[in-house]
Amino acid sequence: MEINIVKKMLLAGSKNILENKQTLNDMNVFPIPDGDTGTNMDKTMSGIVKVLMEIGDRDLTPADFDELYKSALMNSQGNSGVILSQWLKGFLKALREETELNPGNLDEAFISGMQSAYSAVADPVEGTFLTVCREAQEEAEDLFDEDTTVKDFMKNVVEGASMSLKNTPEKLAILKEYDVLDSGGMGFLCLVTGMLSALEEDYVYDFSEFESLKPSFSGNGAAAGGDGEEFGYCTELIVKIEEDKLASFNADTVRIDMNSFGNSLVLVQDGADLKIHIHTLKPEDILAYFHRFGEFQKLKIENMTLQHHENFLAATQDCAIIAVADGDGIEKLYKSLGVKGIVRGGQSDNVSVQNLLGACKAAAAKHVILLPNNKNIIMTAEKVRELCPDTVIHIVPTKSMAEGYCALSLIDANANYDVIEKTMLESLSGVHTGFVSVADKSGTYNGVEVKAGDHIGVIDDDIIVCAANDPVTALTELTKKVPGIADVEAVTVFASNDVLVTHVQAAKTAIKSSCPSAEISAAYGGQGIYDLVVLYQ
Amino acid sequence: MAFSIITDSTSDLSKDLREKFGIDYCKMEFSEGEKHYLASLDWDDISSKEFYDSMRQGKRYKTVQVPVKTFDEKFREHLEKGNDILYIACSSGLSGSINTAKVLSEELRSSYPGRKIVCIDSLISGLGQGSMAIKAAEMQAEGKTLEETAAWIEEHKLFFNQYGTVESLDYLKAAGRVTASSAFFGNLFAVKPILISDLEGHNLAVKKVKGRKSSLDELAIMSAKYIENPLDQTVYIGHADDEAAANAVADKLKELIPGVKTGLYVIGPIVGASVGPGTVIAFYYGKNKKEQLDGN
């Protein structure tokens, strides 16, 4: 084969990286998860394309190889881009004096590329681009015999890269944690897959996709996956396209359509077989879309959110935090801070020993840290401890949801149980909780005259300190009576369903007047009984 | 042979400091949508106030490491002047710039045979990195060679420490530039994380503290605990548009260590884009980072 085929191979490789840019960006977690692997590798390859455009139809000269590399390096961006440029350096250097491309010198070029890529990194990390480019070459060399053609060799490289890529999470822990393959390695697979496609007889060498070679190739637009907070469903299927539909089937149109369905799309067509991989929030739409073309040969739909949670749980089984909560808002807050199990209940709705025991057992952890939300539940928790001898139960005596939040907010839920318990206990010293609710009967309590229907203010252990016509006034009076209020640094207001937004605003202002230097925040707690529960730290 | 000391945009060295110590820097870049900016430490394209206010209003900036071309031009400029180069780079835990610089140095070797380019991974950013460059300049002024200076910095780089606090971890999380467990990132009100730089030069969230004031006090208390020879150095306190907070840290530190010198500065656009408005970071020369890590 003439050496000029290298021009086609590099262009096709560049094109394939460009097409997969967004997917590569989405996969990027190592070394810095800033979502730019695809952009970086694309920029690097744009350096190659620029020189190819200048070369045009004429034959390659050794100086062209130098120019190709230099341009790749100068256009490279980011870590992945620089490493790719170094792989290209070795690859191109090995071929610069050649007049024809054969399996032998192609193998040499892949070895040279791999060595050059490794030498670009001070501390080579396995499970990355480096591993994939090395194992791809090794696989192709293993299968090398006298009948091997250039195309066979490239097929084996692609096969080897693909196998190596699948294995990257076994080599690099962070990939496993995020449940992704290595993005740089995937980029290498895109490169060699493109290079292979250039060897097809019907391959057309054209630059149309690169005409506007500017740095602003825009991404693929709408991605249903969101910013990583949502996970959705990993949907994979193989469809056998019906014969009468095959002629009119257009993979490019499908790709465009898929942009509005989800992200991380991989679409491969091999004759009538169509293979699709996509992350989507609505797998049912994907099924309906592809069912039009023919029958499914294979289907796999996995809820990645569930997967994520399971992985998360499995990783931290040594210690689990269980909390009692009586509102949807506070439940959400607790979970965001690392609480594994929530038992619903509180002041009005006391938790049974059985419920709490069940939650502790379900946690299947060696140590359980229990956070009650009132005095009575602390007692219930003590009983649970007696009944659950296989688990070490640590009770942190939080007497309100506010104290529970306070204890949770300062810990690292992945730390050791003893560190967590100590941090929680320390965090509770000097903390007070204020409650505002509506009195259901009249009387005099603690010297405060209360009429049924009044809004009463309570501090900590059921001590009524004030009564007023509206919740904000009650809170204002209550705040003044909080011990050490002048030194309070942080106040957090948890509002129930019945509290108006304007009340919350007014409450924040009211608190500010008693402790002007405190940082005041408000959150939806959704708790029962109390309109407002306030944490004073 | 004479040598030039070069850093990059995360060193946060002000014009005054750069001129005083004769330090040059390579610019990183940042962008917001289609708008691209050079990461000038003199805020040429956008003022610091405008930059941080826009982040408060929800704008997010993407940062780009030093482009190869920038290194190429800057390094050639100094080599042409007849100087060798000592490049003190942003932590490899935060940026790939060091790697690019090393690759480019290899390329330049053929054009400038026999000349030296030494690249040092500072394993920190901000004035931690900046202080290393200042130290190098001081050694140079004492007549030390490039090799002697580079060897000293390599040997002592883990003694350049930081204690920082951010208003919200969201920025660091979005930029992928913090190490912390997911529960650290939960919904927090008035709880502030404390960040140090670990042995790999990552930002590590080590603990959470109640309230802004306590978090600022914590920076001073911990800095005072781990600093060495406090009266022979300047503690640099960087802030992302919250001078009052930086002053509070400086005051507390002076209370703990009477006579200590402090230098306040505004955190530059690259570090700023990752940490977000309201961030305050204290940098000092102290005990080995390992000791600091073990103590947290």
Report strand pairing: A294-303 vs A233-241: antiparallel
B139 shares its domain with B22: yes
Percent of chain B residues past pLDDT 70, beyond the cut: 99
b/e burial code for range B188-227 (CB count within 10 A of at least 16 → b) = bbbbbbbbbbbebbbbbbbbbbbbbbbbbbbbbebbbebb
On the question of pLDDT at A287 being above 70, the answer is yes
Task: Show residues of chain A in contact with B186, CB under 8 Å.
Answer: 333, 336-338, 408-409
Q: Give the closest of A36, A517, A520 to B213, CB-based.
A: A517
Interface touch B210/A427, C-beta < 8 Å: yes
- Verify that B151 and B13 share a domain, yes or no: yes
- DSSP-based three-state secondary structure for B195: strand
Angle, CA A55 vertex, CA A52 and CA A61 arms, to 5°: 105
Return the SS3 of B3: strand
Top-confidence range, A273-282, A496-505, A526-535: A526-535
Average pLDDT over residues B158-176: 89
* Amino acid making up residue A219: G
Q: Taking the CA atoms of B137, B142, B146 and B149 in sequence, report the sign of the dihedral they define.
A: negative
What is the structure's pLDDT at A212? 56
Inform me whether the C-beta atom of residue B72 falls under 8 Å from chain A C-beta atoms.
yes
Cα torsion through B86, B91, B97, B100, rounded to 10: 70
> With a CB-CB cutoff of 8 Å, which residues 47-86 of chain A face chain B?
73-79, 82-83, 85-86
How many other CB atoms are found less than 10 A from the CB of residue A146?
5
User: Do both B247 and B184 map to the same domain?
Assistant: yes
CB < 8 Å to B214, chain A: 489
* pLDDT tens digits, one per residue of A308-327: 555 444 444 688 999 999 88
Range with the poorest average pLDDT among A61-65, A244-248, B41-45:
A244-248
Which conformational region is residue A171 in: left (phi greater than 0), alpha (psi within -120 to 50 degrees), or beta? alpha
Q: Which of A15-19, A228-232, B90-94, B142-146 has the lowest mean pLDDT?
A: A228-232
The CA distance from A111 to A139, in Å, is 12
- For the ranges A211-215, A303-307, B166-170, the lowest mean pLDDT is seen at A211-215
Strands A432-438 and A443-445: unpaired
Nearest to residue A76, comparing CAs of A65, A64, A87? A87
Task: Calculate ∠ Cα A33-A88-A144, nearest 5°.
Answer: 105
Least reliable range by pLDDT among A104-108, A312-316, A482-486: A312-316
Say whether residue B188 is in contact with chain A using an 8 A CB cutoff.
Answer: yes
SS3 A29: coil
Banded model confidence at residue A517, pLDDT cuts 50, 70, 90: confident
What pLDDT does residue A220 have?
Answer: 31
Instruction: For residue A523, list chain B residues with Cβ-Cβ distance below 8 A.
Output: 187, 189
pLDDT at A213: 55
List, in sequence order, every residue forming a beta bridge with A393; answer none if it has no partner: A368
Point out the domain boundary residue: B111, B137, B157.
B157
> Using an 8 Å Cβ cutoff, are A433 and A403 in contact?
yes
Structural domain boundaries, residue B49 = 3-157
Contact A490 B210 (CB under 8 A): yes
* Amino acid in position B101: A
3-state secondary structure of A303: strand
Residue A223 is predicted with a pLDDT of: 31
Co-location of B93 and B204 in the same domain: no
- The SS3 assignment for A21 reads helix
Picking from B99, B183, B213, the nearest residue to A489 by CB comes out as B213
**What are residue A298's phi and psi, to 5 degrees?**
-155, 145
**Burial level of A175, CB count in 10 A (0-12/13-18/19+)?**
buried
Q: Are residues B232 and B287 in the same domain?
A: yes
A17 and A38 Cβ atoms separated by less than 8 Å: yes
Asked which of A414-428, A506-520, B177-191, B225-239 is least confident by mean pLDDT, the reply is: B177-191
> Is the pLDDT assigned to residue A293 strictly greater than 60?
yes
Cα separation, A72 vs A115, in Å, equals: 17
Say if pTM beats, i.e. exceeds, 0.90.
no
- Note whether B122 and B192 are same-domain residues: no
Spatial CA neighbour of A507 closest among A464, A487, A465, A536: A536
CA distance B142 to chain A (A): 31
Q: Where a domain ends, among B141, B157, B173? A: B157
Number of helices (H) and strands (E), helices first, in chain B? Answer: 11, 13
A79 vs B106, higher pLDDT? B106
| Residues of chain B neighbouring A533 (CB-CB closer than 8 A) | none
- Residue A178, token pair as written in the block: 């995020």
Q: Is the pLDDT of residue B189 over 90?
A: no
Using CB atoms, which residue from A32, A73, A337 is nearest to B107?
A: A73
Q: How far apart are CA A333 and CA A421, in angstroms?
A: 19
Tell me what the mean pLDDT of segment B218-228 comes to.
Answer: 96
Same domain, B216 and B282: yes
3-state secondary structure of A2: strand
Residue of A nearest to B100 (CA): A82
pLDDT of residue A264: 67
CA separation for the pair A293, A286 (Å, rounded): 12
Residues A389, A412: contact at Cβ < 8 Å?
A: no
Find the CB nearest B65 among A35, A78, A83: A78
Which pLDDT belongs to residue B294? 86
Partner residue opposite A409 with nearest CB, options B65, B121, B191:
B191
The H or E element spanning position A25 is helix A21-27
Which region, left, alpha or beta, applies to residue A100 given φ > 0 means left and ψ of -120 to 50 means alpha?
Answer: beta
Most confidently modeled of A20-34, A418-432, B272-286?
B272-286
Residue A301 is encoded by which pair of tokens?
């739909």
Tens of pLDDT, residues B245-260: 999 999 999 999 999 9
Identify the closest residue of chain A to B108 by CA–CA distance.
Answer: A70
List the beta bridge partners of residue A321. A369
| Cis peptide preceding A471, ω within 30 of 0 | no
Distance from C-alpha of B230 to C-alpha of A475, rounded to nearest angstrom: 47
pLDDT tens-digit readout, A254-282:
877 887 787 766 777 777 888 777 878 88
Instruction: Quickly count: other Cβ atoms within 10 Å of residue B111's Cβ.
Output: 9
Q: Which of B111, B128, B157 is the last residue of a domain?
A: B157
Instruction: Break chain B down into helix, strand, coil percent, rounded to 5.
Output: 45, 25, 30
Q: What integer best gives the mean pLDDT of chain A?
A: 86
B153 in the same domain as B163:
no
Q: Are B163 and B124 in contact (CB under 8 A)?
A: no
pLDDT at A221: 30
Q: Is B244 on the interface with A (CB under 8 A)?
A: no
DSSP B182: G
Nearest to A337 among B100, B183, B214 (CB): B183
Which of A206-215, A343-352, A441-450, B195-204 is predicted with the least confidence, judged by mean pLDDT? A206-215
Question: How buried is B72 (Cβ within 10 angstroms: 0-12 exposed, 13-18 middle, 19+ buried)?
Answer: middle
Which tokens is A217 given? Answer: 């190739």
Looking at every residue in chain B, the average pLDDT score rounds to 94
> Can the peptide bond before residue B67 be classed as cis, meaning omega within 30 degrees of 0?
no
pLDDT at A299: 83
**SS3 at position A10:** helix
How many domains does chain B fold into?
2
Domains along chain A?
5-210 (1.25.40.340), 233-308 (3.30.70.100), 318-427 (3.40.50.510), 432-536 (3.30.1180)
Which residues of chain B neighbour A76 with C-beta distances below 8 Å?
68, 100
* Backbone angle region of A294, left / alpha / beta, with phi > 0 → left and psi within -120 to 50 → alpha: left
Identify residue A221 by its one-letter amino acid code: G
Please report, for the domain that includes residue B270, its CATH number: 3.30.1180.10
Contact A490 B64 (CB under 8 A): no
The first and second tokens of residue B129, run together, are 């990195």
Looking up residue B131, the CATH number of its domain turns out to be 3.40.50.10170
At B33, list the tokens. Answer: 């949508």
- Whether B99 has a pLDDT exceeding 70, the answer reads yes
Q: Say if CB A94 and CB A65 are below 8 A apart.
A: no
Q: Are residues A60 and A92 in contact, defined by beta-carbon separation less than 8 angstroms?
A: no
Taking only residues 26 to 45 of chain B, the set having a beta carbon closer than 8 angstroms to any beta carbon of chain A reads: 34
What is the value of ipTM here, to two decimals? 0.75
pLDDT, average across residues A45-66 = 93
Range A143-164 average pLDDT: 94
**CA distances (Å), A478 to each of A463, A467, A475, A534, B262, in order?**
11, 9, 5, 10, 42
Distance (Å) from the alpha carbon of A105 to chain B's nearest alpha carbon: 25
Note the pLDDT of residue A73: 87
The per-residue pLDDT for A117 is 93
- Nearest CA to CA, how far is A40 from chain B (Å)? 10
> Comparing A287-301, A417-431, B216-230, which segment has the lowest mean pLDDT?
A287-301
What H or E segment, with its residue span, contains residue B204? strand B203-210
- Residues sharing a CB contact under 8 Å with residue A443, sequence separation 6 or more, in sequence order: A450
Which chain B residues are Cβ-neighbours of A93 within 8 angstroms?
Answer: none
The whole-number average pLDDT for the span B217-229 is 96
- Pair (B70, B184) in one structural domain: no
Tokens in use for A409?
């907010």
Question: Is the CB of A73 less than 8 angstroms away from the CB of B214?
Answer: no
* Residue A115 touches partner B, C-beta closer than 8 Å: no
Tell whether B121 and B215 lie within a shared domain. no
Please choose, from the candidates A425, A456, A459, the residue with its C-alpha nearest in 3D space to the C-alpha of residue A443.
A456
Q: Which residue matches tokens 């404390």?
A: B194
By Cβ distance, the residue of B100, B121, B188 closest to A82 is B100
A245, pLDDT greater than 70: yes
Residues B262 and B234 in one domain: yes
Q: What tokens appear for B172 in the block?
A: 């660091």
In which band, very low, low, confident or very high, does the pLDDT at B277 lie, cut at 50, 70 and 90? very high
Residues B166, B220 within the same domain:
yes
d(CA A219, CA B186): 30
| Of the partner residues B69, B102, B212, the one whose CB lies closest to the CB of residue A74 | B69
Amino acid residing at A198: A
Contacts of B65 in chain A (CB under 8 A): 77-79
Chain A stretch 398-417, residues whose beta carbon is closer than 8 A to a beta carbon of chain B = 408-414
Q: Which of A184-193, A243-252, B36-45, B150-159 has the lowest mean pLDDT?
A: A243-252
- Residue of chain A with shortest Cα separation from B107: A70
Q: Helix (H, G, I), strand (E, B), or coil: what is residue A45?
A: helix
Instruction: Identify the top-confidence range among A34-43, A183-192, A313-322.
Output: A183-192
Q: Do A333 and B212 touch (CB under 8 A)?
A: no
Closest C-alpha among B162, B89, B156 to residue B121 = B89
Strands B234-239 and B261-266, bridge-based pairing: parallel
Mapped onto helix, strand or coil, the DSSP state of residue A322 is strand
Task: Write the DSSP symbol of residue B42.
Answer: T
DSSP B184: G
The secondary structure of A200-243 as a DSSP string is STT-----GGGTT-SS--------TTTTSS---EEEEEEEEE-H
d(CA B210, CA B227): 24
